[in-house]
Amino acid sequence: MRYYFIIFSFLISFPVKAQITKIDINFASNMPLKAIESPNAKANLIMFIGGPGLKHGKLKKIGNPLIRARKIFKQKGFNLYFFPNPKKGKEISIKYRTTKKHVNNISKVYEIIKKRNNLPTFLVGHSRGGTSVSKAATVYVSKFDGIVVAAALTSTSQKISTRHLVTKILKKETDTHILIIHPKQDACFVTPFKPIPNLMNNLKSKSKKLVTIEGGGISGKECGPYHRHGFEDKENEFAEAIKRWFLDLGL
């Protein structure tokens, strides 16, 4: 009996690693869409990585909070789908994120995911990924169950123009649920918090909610994943905000 107890305790202490499923989306990328699914999930999150995007399709050793916190998201009842870049080894440009082709591909992938399990499905974009999901929601105004825009672009630079800002894109009315999550002390020069309250005042959507994250780690670069911009030390609060929002929607 003691022998079986030891084996059982070992299995509890060392849970089985989350299995990654590969879904072919050759119309959008020469890399597969990587998925982490659970039979007990209550909703789907299609993740759009900021910065250079998902260049090599690998989830290991990538600091972006959407990937870094994947175990937390899974534990909170979500299936996860990580949207890859169009070409393996190449960055996704900020210009491409607002193109018709990109938006159409997002729509097609959304349909594929919905057919897999018919669960509520949300687009989640962090930093530059927020540009992707915001643009999709204003082109397909009533298609998506909702979008999450996290620490997204709110200020221009030499590489970032006004048309890439969520504060500009979301001026167009959309018939979907929108959750804005932003670090109050975001120190990245293209994602300051200051324009967010005005965005919320002018946002026209099926519903809207703002969650402000206070504090966070500052171990890395200000626009990198290991700083307040990347929700360092706030991963659970970040994921919990999405879970609470989804539950409150009652979908």
Summarize pLDDT for 104-147 with one digit per residue, the tens.
Answer: 999 999 999 999 999 999 999 999 999 999 999 999 999 999 99
pLDDT score recorded for residue 19: 87
Residue 107's CB is within 10 A of a number of other CB atoms, namely 14
pLDDT score recorded for residue 14: 40
Partners of residue 45 on adjacent β-strands: 80, 122
Residue 96's CB is within 10 A of a number of other CB atoms, namely 15
| DSSP H or E run through 72 | helix 70-75
pLDDT score recorded for residue 7: 41
240 CB contacts (<8 Å, ≥6 apart)?
Answer: 76
Q: State how far the alpha carbon of 171 is from the alpha carbons of 1, 89, 205, in Å.
A: 65, 34, 10
pLDDT score recorded for residue 60: 85
The model's pLDDT over 27-50, given as tens digits with 9 standing for 90+, comes to 999 999 999 999 999 999 999 999
- The alpha carbon of 121 is separated from its chain's Cα centroid by a whole number of angstroms, namely 12
Domain ranges of the chain: 22-249
pLDDT score recorded for residue 17: 54
pTM of the predicted model, to two decimals? 0.92
| Residue ranges for the chain with pLDDT beneath 50 | 1-16
What is the CATH T-level fold of the domain 22-249, as seen in this structure?
Rossmann fold (3.40.50)
Q: State how far the alpha carbon of 232 is from the alpha carbons of 67, 142, 211, 223, in Å.
A: 12, 33, 16, 12
